[in-house]
Amino acid sequence: MSDFGRVLTAMVTPFNSRLEVDYGQAKKLARYLADNGSDGIVVSGTTGETSTLTNEEKIKLYETVVDEVGSTTKVIAGTGNNDTADSVYVTKEAEKVGVHGVMAVVPYYNKPPQEGIYNHFKMIAGATSLPLIMYNIPGRTSVNMLPDTIARLAQIDNITALKEAAGSLDQAAEIRRKTPADFIIYSGDDSLTLPLLSVGCHGVISVVSHVVGREMQEMIRAYLSGDVAGAARMHLDLFPIFKGLFITTNPIPVKAAMNMMGIEVGGLRPPMLPANDAESAAIRKLLEDYKKIH
Q: Which residues are catalytic?
A: 135, 163
**24 alpha-carbon distance from chain centroid:** 21
Task: Give bridge partners of residue 185 from the DSSP assignment.
Answer: 162
Measured CA to CA, the distance from residue 116 to residue 213 in angstroms comes to 36
Amino acid at 117: I
Neighbours of 71 (CB within 10 A): 8
Measured CA to CA, the distance from residue 214 to residue 53 in angstroms comes to 29
Measured CA to CA, the distance from residue 77 to residue 54 in angstroms comes to 14
Contact 183, 152 (CB under 8 A): no
Q: Would strands 74-78 and 203-206 be described as parallel, antiparallel, or unpaired?
A: unpaired
